[in-house]
Structure 1
Amino acid sequence: MVIDGHCDVLYQLWKNPEWSFNDQEELRVNYNRWINNDVKVQCFAIFVPPDVPEDLQFHSALKMVDIFYEKILKPYPNIKMVKSREDIDNLKDDEKGAMLTLEGLHPIGHDIIKLKTLLHLGVKAAGLTWNNGNAVSDGIGEVRGAGLSKFGKQVVDVLNTYEVLTDVSHLSYKGFWEVMDEAYYPIASHSNSFKVCAHRRNLDNKQIKALISRNAFMGVTFVPEFLTGANQATTKDVIDHIEKILTLGGENIVGLGSDFDGTDGIVEGLENYSDYNSFIQELKGRFSADFVQKISHENFLKVLPK
């Protein structure tokens, strides 16, 4: 079993409404590729680009929720929506699980009811920012580098109450530490090691150790820029980041968060979903069977509410 903590298929289908999830070649994650690999659960992120006008951002988020239900779930009876560990445990052998997540809270503005609406619609993990700043916190690309606002702390309280994962990927450095203090269920859905690749989106050793101390989850991502600092990378580079997290004591937090369909760069040997099985075999050649189980799914499962 494989659980992938992040992809941007919903964004691509929103941007290209004529596309089909079934077999669209341009989609690195599509139904035909999914049904033929060992990925059991895929997290589908709602990502509204920040250039969408403010008054249309929440509507765009709702449109992506609609795409999730109408294009991912409805046509395929063997794809089940999952919201908990129990839902995943109950998947039959021929079934796949789809989890709805949110990348950046800029679509809710200052309105906590908009957040609750998205949670009622099934969002089970929420990234507080993208790279930009919003009413909740600054992102890692915001020069100001501010942490959680008063409203941001209210948001984290709501996520705690609803047992929703609080995602620190893309968050400012100060915001990261404040989430560590405030969130009951912190994760980094798609982030790599800053020590291996000094990209602003990656987490330094101190941050990774903080996630370890919280028994959280950290999904190593397949974005070449975050792996090597360039637009080229190989599966060995992905493994280098996994090994670095392992050396810090991260055996029980490290997992996978591909970011397929959210980036133009391609990792050699991990071009799309079709390569996932061979990558898992490569991991099995490098690590123990027990550790590969943790990387592939167990470390993600343990952070979910029962």
Structure 2
Amino acid sequence: MNIIDLHCDALMKLQEAKGALRFADAKELHTNKKRLLAGQVKVQCFAIFIEPEVKGDQKFQVVLEQIDYFYKEVLGKNPDMVHIKEWSDFDRLKLGQIGAMLTLEGVDAIGNDLAKLHILYQLGVRSVGLTWNQANLAADGAGEPRGGGLTLFGKEIVEFNNEHQILTDVSHLSDKGIWDVIELAKYPIASHSNARALCNHPRNLTDEQARAMFMQGGLIHVVYHPLFIKESGAATIADLVKHIDHLCGLGGVKQIGFGSDFDGITTFVTGLEDASKSQSLINELLKHFKEEAVRGFAYENFLNHRPGTGR
């Protein structure tokens, strides 16, 4: 069964390796092409993420370096990897091809300059998360004790996203920031978050937030990181399925998807250690849900709610 994965950090690994890793088959990558094909991942979103210790004047340069690796290593050396730059490109993927879409995890690198975000849009970024865990000029992240929401600049970014049919990602935002995005964004999404009711972590969504996301036509893509699945002990695929079941109970059966966080995690769900194992999640879901619902979680819910579909 085809899968869309809304989040991985392979670009960070490629950039840090400085050309030493091949996207085609590097064993160091959880999301190399060989593993994506084995796991039937039809579309992979590639996050641009800058480590907090990178100095301000270097952040945008690192962003451009990661995009360069996307173009020359992911796309350039693999003709069957197809750039998703327009929302209609999903409909043109052929048998044997894998779609690849750029996303931005935190706007720290643009400072207070919307022109830089426009450059990233022109280069193919189609989903923007305002923060990682810390605060920046746009908003407070989930790890910022102050817990503030969007700044005026953050609201300008959401307006830019709305105008350009860019997804606004609430994963990593503070609670107040999440509510601000739900109120302001035309295309809200949580690219890699779970249910806080089942695992009490600030990176997960409360039931109230999840319901509001669904009411706004937003999507919630569950994340495979054990830290966000279970508060203690090893996490299993069955534990992850419980989050999907819980979110379905909040009205999200047609608005749930997957956001693995592969290449950004060092601990794993048992049986879900890299992209090649993705069908293990599908097989577990088929034990509990009708095939139509599982196809929705895997692929169709995102297609039906992407910008431009009139949702």
Report the TM-score range of the alignment, normalised by the length of the smaller protein.
over 0.9
Q: Mean alpha-carbon deviation: is it higher for 84-93 or for 152-161?
A: 84-93
Does the 8 Å contact 1:231/1:266 carry over to 2? no
Shift of 1:231: 6.6
- TM-score, reference length from structure 2: 0.96
Task: Return the alpha-carbon distance in structure 2 between the equivalents of residues 190 and 83 of structure 1.
Answer: 21
Identity of aligned residues (%): 44
Q: 2:38 aligns with which of 32, 36, 39?
A: 36
Secondary structure of the equivalent of 1:80?
A: strand
Task: Return the alpha-carbon distance in structure 1 between the equivalents of residues 16 and 237 of structure 2.
Answer: 29
1:150-165 → structure 2 map (5 Å cutoff): 150-165=152-167
Unaligned runs of 5+ in 1: none
Does the 8 Å contact 1:270/1:279 carry over to 2? yes
Task: Return the alpha-carbon distance in structure 2 between the equivalents of residues 104 and 303 of structure 1.
Answer: 23
Q: Could you tell me which amino acid in structure 1 is paired with residue 109 of structure 2?
A: P
2:111 is aligned to: 109
Task: Return the alpha-carbon distance in structure 1 between the equivalents of residues 216 and 230 of structure 2.
Answer: 27
Q: Which runs of 4+ in 1 moved over 3 A?
A: none
1:42-81 → structure 2 map (5 Å cutoff): 42-81=44-83
Write out per-residue CA displacement over residues 60-113 of structure 1, whole angstroms, 9 at most, x where no aligned residue: 001111011011001111110113442111111111100100000111111111
2:242 is aligned to: 240
Q: 2:182 aligns with which of 180, 183, 193?
A: 180
2:126 is aligned to: 124
Task: Return the alpha-carbon distance in structure 2 between the equivalents of residues 226 and 266 of structure 1.
Answer: 11
Task: Return the alpha-carbon distance in structure 2 between the equivalents of residues 229 and 26 of structure 1.
Answer: 27
Task: Return the alpha-carbon distance in structure 1 between the equivalents of residues 73 and 287 of structure 2.
Answer: 37
Write out per-residue CA displacement over residues 147-170 of structure 1, whole angstroms, 9 at most, x where no aligned residue: 111111111111111110000000
Q: 1:289 aligns with which of 288, 291, 311?
A: 291
Q: Mean alpha-carbon deviation: is it higher for 284-293 or for 186-195?
A: 284-293
- TM-score, reference length from structure 1: 0.98
Q: Could you say if the C-alpha distance between residues 83 and 302 of structure 1 is closer, same or farther in structure 2, counting changes exceeding 3 Å? A: farther
Alignment partner of 1:2 is 2:9: no
Secondary structure of the equivalent of 1:268?
A: coil
Alignment partner of 1:16 is 2:22: no
Question: How many residue pairs align between the two structures?
Answer: 306
> What value does the CA root-mean-square deviation take over the aligned residues?
1.1
1:259 is aligned to: 261
Q: Could you say if the C-alpha distance between residues 68 and 156 of structure 1 is closer, same or farther in structure 2, counting changes exceeding 3 Å? A: same
